[in-house]
Chains A and B, each alone.
Chain A
């Protein structure tokens, strides 16, 4: 559809004022807006209907793509016809911004602060804006916990306790999209070595989960009693009447999903209208819908939030998730997770059960020699074959990031992984022996 001259003149000077309501603009919009997303249908369908109702005559066309393929489409000439990118994908937005694929957005920071506490969730350069945030926490099955006489876990550390052996749903980092950032948040909060030790000990209680929604499913059916999850799966299940509970640990990360308009959007006015809509009070309040249950980035809409909704602006434990750090080392974290956890679940469970049994057998005041052996066993069981210093080396992160596209990088990464596996096997064997010795087995 040709763009009228008046609109072409207006468009570059228009700003995205999120304070604008959904009142239709005085000028006619283009007849469609093409939005690339990986949001689920339950969510896109509701936004499509509400947006089209607010903007009669504009056809919202969804192009559903996973992040990697969306990034390729948006980076292509003409952005593949796309006007808007609207999705939860932390790495995609800065990468596309750096490639010049977005146009500036001017946002009213009085209503859209662009940060939660110390954590920046929108683009400091002003090309993409946070649309919602999702936090990490623990989903529980209260009935299954009660049936076993178990106190509900309230922290990540709780999930490592011996009483939860075999009862924790653990998303596998290489297969469940939300989970790398979950583990990264745990590493950032606890520190690299302590974080890996905690992940390993939780893994000792774990049943592996290979798809995001299955964490909630497995807990709901009572296969397990608790699981590590991103909040909306659990909160939506609760809102739909499923008998599960959910708790945020005292300190957790809230990670953003974002929205941006492409630099050469073929339907710029309709694109602006869409972004205005999703950032409006109406669009933000839709996140409270029982089938969505994500957290708005407009503090003002929390006035009308459902009773159980946590306001991350008021309660995030002071934890500022470092998005760039998480993005930089995510491939490394995933690779380590597979070597330390995914490939060794039965062995990990046996090791930690031995340690926990030994600790229980020795009681609160064990003989010093046994206590020393047990402490050594615990340290070795949680050992990670990459030091914090090495993990901070940009070259190592870059190597694991490049492995997908570069055979040479993949070969070098594989060699490193083989070394890690060999080391971990040896160290854990020693840990098991020490635990057995400590218990007098």
Chain B
């Protein structure tokens, strides 16, 4: 990381309020339940029909093939997690983890792999021979579902420097009803809670050079924060490109991210992923009818990509306490990874997003977050303890729909404080400084995060 941590007093005097500028074209005011589903104000009239079509596809419960009435919307599964995008990205926001042994994952999933080479590049995860890359807990009638997964929580506590005790919880992943036998001792798992989907077009429009300018893979500046890009195959171009989407940055473009989710989560094939997700062990899955080849047309993939790209970012809300909190955010080192400002470049699919200064609070790079958050499942260049810095914009609206707010990749954190305290590895120093802050400063920092 080439921008070191500023001394606290200097930082407070220099950076307060720097990221408050809002871009009216791509942000929307308000804190309503539907705020994360609103289009950017700059959406051109020519794009409104595609946005509406994309929204319809996002909300659509996919049909079992064949459907004579709506052949353009059939092809669910044969194995799948949910029937629609909306089912996981509830109100376009983040999901929630399961709640104990009797529950199941609804807006959370489990990625699977085994050691080895997945695609001949030497870096792709190797899918599990029976269950594939992801556990699909549901299936169309006549096809066995793969099994259920849940998380059982174990309480732990941690004590801050001022003696405040914070309750945390660690997840234990459990499986049941596995249809094709045990997963095996060598299985690698990664629990992923659905992330929010706003602002993705702006991240798609960030040039590689802007991402790379913050990379410091060898930590040459010695600040303990490195940051490196994931490099993954881009299916459309056939090239190895910087990954920027997915919790481990394992997808190159928004279009590819969406197509991957359609296949992995709903079982819908697309021009980018034209093969159904049935493993050789799943004969009934392979024999089931499909909804066309592919099931999601290129035009519809374009429409839902435009919809996602055009979802606005919530505008910052005013809070007097946030000003100091914003300065602290930089001063204690959070901004080293959660970069407040990026710039966008050319974006022909939605020119309204081009050449803007945006405030996503991410560097889109991978960072080692330590053993506490490690999933032990490498994903292309990302190691088993590396995660892509998640954007923080919209953070203050997590839970606005009334279903609770959960944070981190598996939803273990129930508060922002818990989320900060889980930061290890490259985030340990910043987390440690947070622990050392007086309670009022911690509150200011949280107030700032809640204005995002």
Where the two chains meet, the residues of A that have a C-beta atom closer than 8 Å to any C-beta of B are 34, 40-42, 44-45, 48-49, 52-53, 56-57, 59, 61-66, 68-69, 80-81, 211, 214, 217, 239-242, 290-291
The answer to whether A45 touches B87, judged by C-beta atoms less than 8 angstroms apart, is yes
Do A64 and B61 form a contact, CB below 8 Å, given A34-B141, A241-B30, A241-B33? yes
28 A–B contacts, CB within 8 A, in A order: A40-B59, A41-B61, A42-B90, A45-B87, A45-B90, A45-B106, A53-B102, A57-B102, A61-B138, A62-B61, A63-B64, A63-B140, A64-B64, A66-B63, A69-B63, A69-B67, A69-B69, A80-B141, A81-B142, A214-B52, A217-B52, A240-B32, A240-B33, A241-B32, A242-B34, A290-B402, A291-B91, A291-B401
Where the two chains meet, the residues of B that have a C-beta atom closer than 8 Å to any C-beta of A are 30, 32-35, 52, 56, 59, 61-64, 67-70, 76, 83-84, 86-87, 90-91, 102-104, 106, 138, 140-142, 148, 401-402
Q: Bound complex: CA of A42 vs CA of B64, how far in Å? A: 19
Name the CB-closest residue of B to A48. Answer: B106
Query: Contacts of B35 on A, CB cut-off 8 Å?
Result: 241
Q: Bound complex: CA of A330 vs CA of B104, how far in Å? A: 43
Name the CB-closest residue of A to B142. Answer: A81
Name the CB-closest residue of B to A82. Answer: B141
Q: Bound complex: CA of A424 vs CA of B444, how far in Å? A: 71
Closest Cβ of chain B to A66, distance in Å, is: 5
Q: Bound complex: CA of A56 vs CA of B100, how far in Å? A: 11
Do A49 and B106 form a contact, CB below 8 Å, given A40-B59, A81-B141, A241-B32? yes
The answer to whether B62 touches A242, judged by C-beta atoms less than 8 angstroms apart, is no
Q: Bound complex: CA of A384 vs CA of B62, how far in Å? A: 40
Closest Cβ of chain B to A290, distance in Å, is: 6
Query: Contacts of A242 on B, CB cut-off 8 Å?
Result: 32, 34
Q: Bound complex: CA of A273 vs CA of B62, how far in Å? A: 26
Closest Cβ of chain A to B384, distance in Å, is: 31
Selected contact of B61 from candidates A40, A59, A240, CB within 8 Å = A40
The answer to whether A41 touches B87, judged by C-beta atoms less than 8 angstroms apart, is yes
Name the CB-closest residue of B to A49. Answer: B106
Query: Contacts of A59 on B, CB cut-off 8 Å?
Result: 104, 148
Do A42 and B69 form a contact, CB below 8 Å, given A64-B63, A240-B32, A241-B32? no
Selected contact of A65 from candidates B59, B63, B103, CB within 8 Å = B63
- Tell which of A42, A61, A64, A81 has the most Cβ of chain B within 10 Å: A64
Q: Bound complex: CA of A59 vs CA of B146, how far in Å? A: 13
Q: Bound complex: CA of A398 vs CA of B153, how far in Å? A: 61
Query: Contacts of B70 on A, CB cut-off 8 Å?
Result: 66
Selected contact of A69 from candidates B33, B34, B68, B102, CB within 8 Å = B68
Given A66-B67, A240-B34; 20 other pairs, CB 8 A cutoff: A41-B83, A45-B106, A49-B106, A52-B104, A53-B103, A56-B102, A61-B138, A63-B140, A64-B61, A64-B63, A64-B76, A65-B67, A66-B69, A69-B67, A80-B141, A81-B141, A214-B52, A217-B52, A241-B30, A290-B33
Name the CB-closest residue of B to A81. Answer: B141
Query: Contacts of B34 on A, CB cut-off 8 Å?
Result: 240-242
Query: Contacts of A217 on B, CB cut-off 8 Å?
Result: 52
Name the CB-closest residue of B to A31. Answer: B177
The answer to whether A41 touches B63, judged by C-beta atoms less than 8 angstroms apart, is no
Name the CB-closest residue of A to B137. Answer: A59
Closest Cβ of chain A to B59, distance in Å, is: 7
Name the CB-closest residue of A to B400. Answer: A241
Name the CB-closest residue of B to A61. Answer: B138
Q: Bound complex: CA of A91 vs CA of B192, how far in Å? A: 42
Closest Cβ of chain B to A413, distance in Å, is: 20
Query: Contacts of A34 on B, CB cut-off 8 Å?
Result: 141
Name the CB-closest residue of B to A67. Answer: B69
Q: Bound complex: CA of A48 vs CA of B82, how far in Å? A: 12
Query: Contacts of A53 on B, CB cut-off 8 Å?
Result: 102-103
Which 4 A/B pairs are nearest by Cβ-Cβ distance? A241-B32, A64-B61, A56-B102, A240-B33
The answer to whether A63 touches B59, judged by C-beta atoms less than 8 angstroms apart, is no
Selected contact of A41 from candidates B59, B68, B69, CB within 8 Å = B59
Query: Contacts of B76 on A, CB cut-off 8 Å?
Result: 64
Closest Cβ of chain A to B300, distance in Å, is: 16
Closest Cβ of chain A to B68, distance in Å, is: 7
Closest Cβ of chain B to A311, distance in Å, is: 23
Closest Cβ of chain B to A319, distance in Å, is: 32
Query: Contacts of B104 on A, CB cut-off 8 Å?
Result: 52, 59
Closest Cβ of chain A to B172, distance in Å, is: 18
Name the CB-closest residue of B to A80. Answer: B141
Closest Cβ of chain B to A177, distance in Å, is: 12
Do A64 and B83 form a contact, CB below 8 Å, given A34-B141, A41-B61, A241-B30? yes
Q: Bound complex: CA of A80 vs CA of B141, how far in Å? A: 8
